[in-house]
């Protein structure tokens, strides 16, 4: 596996770990492999997924010879957790890309999870094991002009087709909060009116791992939330429960909020793929460009480590380069 046509991506020239023809034949005859394959077929998985699943099992067999029972068949239950961890290390040592390792692990968890539900093993040796973390590519970065065009789209068209003034005010507040506070999509969907401090000058946000933080609400975001609250009061609706509700009073789902962002991005004529995370990314980057302290940005975004926040640094390199180029120009010549 990992050679030509295997579907596994490697970095550089990793050594071969291809299963032998005998191992491939044993896999085709293995009753548990075939039972799992039938289960995938019944689940509607594609031929490509089926092939990848069998390839991953062949790769496991090639790197963990102890699974072979005297060369006559496989004893999948022989793979314990230490050997599963060693298998992951071997993949890494052979140059498999982090994304490939993550996909292989997901596939093997599926197989061993199936064996566990069928009573063939007591524990899944791959449960909870994650491979080397692959950095997800950052979403497109909006310029400040593009961000302004997006967040003001609802008020340029106050009454959307099939909507009402309240919908426009709600959507404007959603966009402003994303851009001015950098909250995550899940965090925004979980906001309640009771999370707002008096005067709505800050919001209590429930982040990852149940951690809470307060984010300031200022400028246009504050105006947008106050306008939404005033509209609700005039309409006889008490501002309680979800901060951003649907027509039935329930909290908007992440899917609904994502659609709202994409809708106004289209209306604003933006050519980029805009998502809630793109607004979060743009918020952090624009703060960095305006010389905000990195730890202040970390606190605002709710990152557990500074390393997560530092991923945004590369987007400000052009501005940093511009400032660096001026150093010599502004430095007085040395006195002889």
Active site residue 120: no
d(CA 108, CA 126): 7
DSSP state of 250: S
Q: State the pairing for strand pair 202-206/212-216.
A: antiparallel
Q: What is the DSSP string of 55-116?
A: HHHHHHHHH-GGGBSTTS-B-GGG--HHHHHHHHHHHHHTTB-HHHHHHHHHHHHHHHHHHH
Burial class (CB in 10 A: 0-12, 13-18, 19+), 124: buried
192: three-class secondary structure by DSSP: strand
| 277 included as an active-site residue | yes
Ramachandran angles phi, psi of 136, nearest 5°: -70, 140
- The rounded distance, in Å, linking the Cα atoms of 242 and 213 is 18
Closest residue by Cα to residue 261 from 173, 196, 191, 180: 173
**Which one of the listed residues 37, 170, 280, 281 is annotated catalytic?**
280
Residue from 208, 211, 314, 323 carrying the catalytic annotation:
208
* Cα 202 from Cα 184, distance rounded (Å): 16
Q: Is 286 labeled as catalytic in the residue annotation? A: no
The torsion region of residue 169 among left (phi > 0), alpha (psi -120 to 50) and beta comes to alpha
Alpha-carbon distance of 17 to 60, in angstroms, equals: 10
- Catalytic annotation on 8? no
Catalytic residue among 184, 229, 281, 286: 184
Catalytic residue list contains 45: no
Q: Scanning the structure block, which residue is given the tokens 């291809």?
A: 18
Look up 312 and say whether it is catalytic. Answer: yes
Q: Say which of 36, 112, 179, 312 is annotated catalytic.
A: 312
Length of the chain: 336
Catalytic member of 8, 37, 170, 277: 277
Residues acting as catalytic residues: 184, 208, 277, 280, 303, 312
């Amino acid at each position: 596996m990992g050679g030509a046509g295997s579907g596994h991506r490697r970095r550089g020239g990793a050594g071969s770990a291809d299963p032998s023809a005998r191992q491939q034949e044993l896999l085709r005859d293995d009753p548990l492999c075939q039972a799992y394959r039938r289960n995938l077929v019944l689940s509607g998985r594609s031929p490509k997924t089926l092939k990848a699943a069998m390839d991953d099992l062949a790769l496991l067999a090639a790197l963990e010879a102890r699974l072979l029972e005297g060369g006559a068949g496989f004893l999948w239950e022989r793979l314990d957790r230490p050997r599963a961890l060693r298998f992951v290390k071997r993949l890494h040592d052979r140059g498999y890309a982090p994304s490939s390792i993550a996909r292989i692990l997901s596939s093997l968890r599926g197989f061993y999870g199936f064996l566990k539900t069928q009573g063939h093993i007591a524990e899944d040796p791959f449960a909870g094991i994650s491979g080397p973390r692959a950095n997800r590519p950052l979403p497109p970065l909006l310029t400040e002009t593009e961000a302004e065009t997006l967040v003001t789209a609802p008020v340029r068209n106050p009454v959307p087709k099939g909507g009402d003034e309240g919908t426009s005010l709600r959507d404007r507040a959603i966009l402003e909060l994303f851009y001015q506070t950098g909250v995550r999509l899940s965090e925004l969907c979980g906001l309640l009116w009771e999370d707002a401090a008096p005067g709505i000058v800050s919001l209590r946000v429930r982040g990852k791992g149940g951690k809470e933080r307060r984010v300031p609400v200022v400028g246009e975001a504050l105006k947008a939330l106050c306008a939404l609250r005033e509209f609700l009061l005039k309409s006889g609706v008490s501002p309680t429960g979800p901060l951003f509700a649907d027509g039935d009073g329930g909290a908007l789902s992440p899917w609904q909020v994502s659609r709202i962002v994409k809708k106004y991005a289209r209306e604003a004529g933006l050519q980029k793929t805009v998502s809630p995370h793109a607004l979060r990314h743009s918020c952090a980057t624009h703060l960095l460009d305006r010389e905000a302290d990195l730890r202040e940005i970390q606190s605002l975004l709710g990152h557990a480590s500074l390393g997560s926040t530092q991923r945004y640094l590369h987007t400000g390199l052009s501005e940093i380069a511009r400032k660096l180029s001026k150093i010599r120009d502004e430095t007085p010549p040395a006195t002889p």
